[in-house]
Amino acid sequence: MMSFFDKLMGEFIDVIEWTDSSSDTMVYRFERYGNEIKYGAKLTVRETQVAVFVNEGDIADVFMPGIYALETKNLPILTTLQHWDHGFESPFKAEIYFFNLRHFVNLKWGTKNPLMLRDKEFGPVRIRSFGTYAVRIDDPVVFLTEIVGTDGYFTVDEVSEQLRNLIVSRFATIVGQAGIPILDLAANYEQMSTFIEEKIAPEFKAYGLELTKLLIENISLPPNVEAALDKRTGMGLAGNLDAYLKYSAAEALSGNGAGEGGSSAAAEAMSMGMGLAMAQQMATNLKEENTSILTPPPIPKAQTYHFVIDNHARGPLTLEQIKTNIRQGTISGDTLAWREGMNGWERADTLDNLSALFRATPPPLPS
């Protein structure tokens, strides 16, 4: 409870203003003993601020940046609510909320759990993503009604979690429906950011907020997909091995042949050249020998399956790996399974290629 001295000082204070020294305060309620305001008091609303008067729970007058004398002519709604048409008593009671309209930037969002997507090339994959966004108060009255309520000191942290969950939810839906290949996601960060921003903007507006910017900073892939990409990249480099060896030999001859150590560099270059020539000759001979031999057809692709284990999709697993998991008890007959070409998940013991594995599995050893 405020002391008598605080009440007495409030009677002499006739300037109502808010100077914000923090970086995260969105709404501040001007504190005055008993919410009493003197007639004719000066209200100062600075740039990037809006002041809203609330009388007994009803939103009254809204003041944009400027300096105002609190009289009946500047308080038309409050005058009507208080029936001041035939008289005005001083002081009067009202709550004053100051709203910070500046941009709140560098707010973080990210997926707490991996998102499951179906990629055309890699099949079911899990991805994680994170980024930043920026908001500002667009409609103070709506924001006060829908979010702030009676909170006298409202910071951006109090609403950021709700906004973050909203972004992640819409991100999962939009990425799932877009059908963009995993390898092309990085090239579409900007386009996806703009699209998600447009989709979520109306929902932010329902809170009295404006989503001014949304950025996707990273979309990460699971380790097995990253390993597959690294392997593919390595194979691509191996395809240019001949050009790499020629380049290395030329560098050794042109740049390291003079001065101390030049003879050894030249010898290394000659050895590299000889090795390259021998490799090319061997490749030519093998090619000539193989022209008379019919190329066998490619080895048929082993059938693989995916399984739902501990509420997560695991796979692809070969038949030998499936047998091992059956013996270990990880996979049973009622475990859901899926392979390429199937419309959905089915019990493993109902599939032709798997049902025999369960019948062939011996029972557990007696205790």
Domain count, the chain: 4
Give residue 253's pLDDT.
61
Residue 8 has pLDDT above 50, yes or no: no
161's CB contacts (< 8 A; 6+ apart) are none
**CATH number, domain containing residue 131:** 3.30.479.30
Residue 269 has pLDDT above 60, yes or no: no
DSSP 87: -
Give residue 143's pLDDT.
94
331, part of any domain: yes
With bands split at pLDDT 50, 70 and 90, how would you rate the model's confidence at 243? low
Token pair in block for residue 204: 């932010």
313, part of any domain: yes
pLDDT tens by residue, 278-310: 666 666 666 665 555 556 777 767 788 999 888
pLDDT tens by residue, 322-353: 888 888 888 888 899 998 888 888 998 888 77
Give residue 131's pLDDT.
93
96 and 120 in a single domain? The answer is: no
State residue 225 phi and psi, 5-degree precision. -70, -40
Locate the DSSP E strands across the chain: 15-16, 25-30, 36-37, 42-45, 49-55, 58-63, 66-69, 92-93, 95-100, 104-110, 115-119, 123-137, 153-155, 209-220, 305-309, 312-317, 336-338, 346-347
74, part of any domain: yes
Q: Treating both helix axes as pointing N-terminal to C-terminal, what angle do 352-359 and 319-328 enclose, rounded to 10 degrees? A: 40
174 and 93 in a single domain? The answer is: no
87 and 153 in a single domain? The answer is: no
118 and 213 in a single domain? The answer is: yes
198 and 110 in a single domain? The answer is: yes
What angle (nearest 5°) sits at the alpha carbon of residue 284, between those of residues 278 and 287?
140
Give residue 37's pLDDT.
81
Looking up tokens 């009067």, which residue turns up?
92
Between 304 and 137, where is the model more confident? 137
Mean pLDDT within 63-83: 79
Q: Which helix (H) or strand (E) holds 2?
A: none
With bands split at pLDDT 50, 70 and 90, how would you rate the model's confidence at 71? confident
Best mean pLDDT range from 71-85, 161-175, 255-269? 161-175
Position 219, amino acid: I
With bands split at pLDDT 50, 70 and 90, how would you rate the model's confidence at 261? very low
96 and 129 in a single domain? The answer is: no
119 and 167 in a single domain? The answer is: yes
Looking up tokens 């991996």, which residue turns up?
114
Residue 45 has pLDDT above 90, yes or no: yes
Q: Domain boundary at 213, 239, 254, which? A: 254
288, part of any domain: no
127 and 158 in a single domain? The answer is: yes
What angle (nearest 5°) sits at the alpha carbon of residue 241, between those of residues 235 and 246?
165
Mean pLDDT within 169-191: 81
Mean pLDDT within 226-254: 62
With bands split at pLDDT 50, 70 and 90, how would you rate the model's confidence at 155? very high
Q: Which helix (H) or strand (E) holds 56?
A: none
Under 8 Å between Cβ of 125 and 312: no
With bands split at pLDDT 50, 70 and 90, how would you rate the model's confidence at 248? low
282, part of any domain: no
68 and 168 in a single domain? The answer is: no
With bands split at pLDDT 50, 70 and 90, how would you rate the model's confidence at 366? confident
DSSP 146: I
**What separation, in Å, do the N-terminal and C-terminal C-alpha atoms of the chain show?**
74
With bands split at pLDDT 50, 70 and 90, how would you rate the model's confidence at 181? confident
Q: Which helix (H) or strand (E) holds 197?
A: helix 189-205
243, part of any domain: yes
DSSP 309: E
Within 13 Å of residue 82, how many CA atoms lie on the same side as its CB? Answer: 24
**If you average pLDDT over every residue of the chain, what do you get?**
78
Q: Domain boundary at 77, 100, 123, which? A: 100
Best mean pLDDT range from 81-95, 115-129, 293-307? 115-129
263, part of any domain: no
231, part of any domain: yes
Mean pLDDT within 117-144: 88
Q: For residues 124 and 143, what is the distance between their CA atoms, to the nearest angstrom?
A: 41
215 and 235 in a single domain? The answer is: no
Q: Assess whether the previous peptide bond of 316 is cis (omega < 30° from 0).
A: yes
Residue 78 has pLDDT above 60, yes or no: yes
Q: Domain boundary at 176, 201, 221, which? A: 221
Mean pLDDT within 117-137: 87
Looking up tokens 């877009």, which residue turns up?
178
> The domain containing residue 331 runs over which residues?
305-359
